[in-house]
Amino acid sequence: MRRVAKAKKPSVVAVALTWDGARAPVSGLSVKARAFLKAGVVAAALTPKRMAELLAERRVKEIRVCWVPRLSGGREVLAVPFSREDGKRVGFRMVRRVELGECLGVVYRR
């Protein structure tokens, strides 16, 4: 009999963002920046709606952001409002900062 593997719950999410919150393509990043985003990541390239759902459900323990020094200027940003049942904000704090050439890598944890 074959066992079916259960899907892991996303606990680490990685995104590359411009200064105005728009997604940046990972393929255009340096090798160091891509390695920073890839390290220990369970869920990458989530839609803004799915990311908001995971945050509201408290399933994300760490967020890795590679800040790209650019402005995109558009409507597509990672800012979808959501609310939690208890009405509180999701508390993340910066625990590590890594300089990746022209980019800045930041690790946020609960």
User: Could you give the CA distance from residue 41 to residue 37 in angstroms, rounded to a whole number?
Assistant: 7
Q: Where are the domains of the chain?
A: 12-109
Question: Does the pLDDT of residue 106 top 80, yes or no?
Answer: yes
Measure the CA–CA gap between 97 and 3, rounded to whole angstroms: 40
Tens digit of each residue's pLDDT (9 = 90 or more) over 63-93 = 899 999 887 766 655 555 555 667 677 788 9
The CATH code belonging to domain 12-109 is 3.40.430.10
Beta-carbon count within 10 A of 61 CB: 15
Strand 43-44, strand 12-18: pairing: parallel
Q: How would residue 5 be classed by pLDDT, with cut points 50, 70 and 90? A: very low
Strand partners, 62: 12, 109
Query: Whole-prediction pTM value?
Result: 0.75
